[in-house]
Each structure stands twice: as C-alpha cells, then as structure tokens.
Structure 1
Amino acid sequence: MKINLSHEFYKFAHRKIPLYGILVLLVLMLYTVGTSYKMTPSLLSQGFGAGQWAIIIIIAISSDMIAMEWRNNTMATLLYKTSHKSILYTAKFIVLVFYSFILLVFGIIFSFILKTLMVGSKFSWHDDYHGHPLINALFLNMGGTMIYLIFIVALSLMLILLIRNNATVIIIGLAIGFLGSDLSNLAMSAFPGLKSILAWNPLNMINIITQLSNNEMVTVTHLTNSELIIANLVYAVVFFWIGALLFKKRSI
C-alpha cells in the first residue's frame, strides 16, 4: 500500500492538473466577487464560493484520474505492479481526498486575501454570524465542505467506473452541485409524511457545507449536524466500496 500510495502521489504531483485546479479556484472565486450584487457576511462565511467551486473542480479531477489511466493504456502496467486492485483504487482515493484538503486550504488563504482587498474593514472576522464569529463560520463551512468532498470523491470514482464517460460524470456532478439541494427540498415538500426518511437522500448531503455554521438549516435538511456528518461519511463508504468492486471486476 505504501508503495502504491507513493507512486500515486508522485504521478499526481507531477501533473499540471493540481496547479490548474488551484488557479481555476482563484479565478472562480474572483468571478464570485465580480458577479455578487454586494458583499455580505454570508459570502465571506462561504469563502467567496470556495467550497462550491472546489466541489466542481474535484468532480472533474476525480472522474479523469482513473479514465486517464485507461485512456493512456497505463492501467495494465499499474495493475501488474500491485498484488491487489483494491490497493491501487484506495491509493487513488486517498490522493484525491488529500488534494481536496489542499484545495480548501488555498480557498481559505484566497478568502483572507480577497477579504482584505475587496472588503477591507467593512466586515470584521469577529462579527457575529448565526451565533459564531465570522472567521469561525468560515472554518466550519470549509470543514463541512471537506466532509462533503470525501462523499463526492467516492461518488465520482464510482460513477466513472459505471458510466465510463468523463463528460457525463461531470454533468451529473454539476447537476448534484447546483440542483441537488433544491430537488431534495422539493421531494420532502411533496411528500411531507415521508420527510424523516427522505431527509437521508444523497442529494440532501450537500447542505453540510452551510449547516455547520447556520443551525437554521436544520429546518431545510431535517437532519442534525451529527446526523448530516454521519450520513455523508456512510454514503462515502458505500460509494467507495461499490467503486472498489467495480474496479476489481473491470477487465484490463
């Protein structure tokens, strides 16, 4: 496992995609600033959209990580060098989760820079935001986003093995990111009697990126913070397990 993990980190670090991902994140955060009607504490607590943009970037990178190996005919060599396919799959998953963390760290750094340049002293990081200092709300939201990114990495890897088409996986990921919460709310509103069951649907999981800093979101998700965290991680485990099985069964 250690050797596979080392190889995956080396390959990933020597590709241009990690750097491009960070640069794209900065551009998208600047886009958020430029298209926002006005600066608000909510915008700052979300790191100028860093969490939402990171999700989209990770979906694209995750779906390409395995597809690239098959496309370039390098997967056979990788599988020859490892005794178990599941070890190789796990190594790729760990690399993507680690990069997700790095991406959010840069998102936080960019947030501080953009706040200084674009907002100045209009808002203080110590201002109250739903019972939290604004800076704490930012870290809570980024923490929630990190948990969701584990979910989305596992989902993206599973989908690329099921569908085998990058564009389709990215489109599905974008649909979940932009419409998932609304569709989840619509389903719970349409069937109020099943709300306690429907609250556990996977589309509802994305709300973790805002709920940890805003307890009022409980009325939307109908799950407590701890339930939302556990549900995200359980889904991630299930998606990871299915993906690992698909990877093991896929022929070279």
Structure 2
Amino acid sequence: MSAVPASGVRQLGRHATVIGSVLVLVAFTALWEVFSRLSFVVPDVAATLGALVENLSDETYLGHLRATLIAVFWVFVIGVVLGGFLGLVLGLSKFARAMFEPILLAFNGMPKIVLYPLILPIFHLGYGSKIVMGVLFCVFPVLINVAAGVRDMPVVYWKLARSLDTSRWQQLTSFVLPAIRRPLLTGIRLAVSLATVGVVLSEFFATKEGLGRVVLQSYSGGDYAAMVATILLLITISFVISLLLWRLEKGVR
C-alpha cells in the first residue's frame, strides 16, 4: 500500500479541523437551545443574535466596545513587553531566577482581582485601573514561557555563540530570540485572552464605559439577550485572535 503524500496529510488535517469545528459549533448551538428552555437567564440563539445586531448598530454600544478594545490593546502591548523582558532576565540570570522566580510563581497563583480595591484608589476610574488590572492578568504567561524557553535552550547554542565571539546583543538577537519564538508565541496567545478577562473584570466593578459595564447593566435590567450577546462578542473576538496566533505558532519550527 502506497504512503499518503505529505501534502495529502496536511490537507486531510485541515479538513478534519474544519469538520471538528463545525461539529463543536452544532453541538454548542444545540446545548444552547436546550438551556434556553430550562432557564430564563439564557435567551435562545435567535434572540441573542438579534440583540447582537441591534447592539452593533448603536453608537453608544460601539463607544463601549471601542473603550474595551483600546484598553485590551494597551494591556496586551504592555503585558507582552514587560513579560518578555522579565522572562529574559529570569532565563538568563541564575541569580535573578533563584531570588525572584518563587515569588513570581506564587503571585501568579494568587487571584488578581482581590487587588482591585487597592488599584482603584491609586489609578482611579477609567483606563488607568483597567490597564493595570489587565497587565496583572496577562504578563505572567509571557514571563513564564519566555523564561522557560531561555532556560531550556540547547547548550550547543551557547557554545556556538561563544565560539563566534559574539557580543551580548548579538547573542540575544541571533540566538536567544530565534530559539524562543515558539514559547514566546504561546505566551502571547495566552496573554490575549487574559488581557480581555482582566479588562472586562475591572469594568464590572468601577468604570464609566466598557463592555463589562454593559454586561452588568444588562444583567441588572433583566435584558439577558443583550447580556449574552455582549459575552458572545467578547468570546468571539478573543477566540479568533487566539486561533490566528495558534496557527502562527504551529508554523514556527
């Protein structure tokens, strides 16, 4: 029996991914309809999609969406830069790793939302408190993945860098960064979802605008279709970006 060509295997894998995604979507929609019959809090699919279309045609709602997306963007940028820098420091320095890694890992396991009452009086309402809270959520996956990637680099890379008499900067740009591309992309992919979670959670508690505020107001007013529509929009945005980053991550060798 002849072997299947590599191109055929890749095409079969893509078809399997599409089929699996369709099956998951169908199962999710069926379960959604079932739960909408069991609980008044869960609207049916048609009502939710209608509320989503109505929301996206409302200028006030689009302003809330814009406020959340701007906050998530800055949280993501700051979290990736800060997490990448701290991860490099921990990965490259045994002293820094021994001194700070246990504290950082313990802090990562702590529920960050408990710090919000302390953050709010310092950074006040608006973007300041949302960005700080979001960074606390998304910085750790980047930090941990980058530090692990640097720590697990093959020893032969360092020997080659020393044999070529490279500078510190050349070692970083020509050896370290190419070697940790995949763990870095993994951390970035996780940071997208956690940045959204951190921003929306902070919008639940004390903010004047944002989709978290919309969800809370919809729940308080009993407009469950609008509430679920906003949650669905947040999930879809985060899912699509994470999926694109996952495909990019898979392509890295």
What TM bracket, shorter-length normalisation?
Answer: 0.3 to 0.5
TM-score w.r.t. structure 2 length?
A: 0.32
TM-score w.r.t. structure 1 length?
A: 0.32
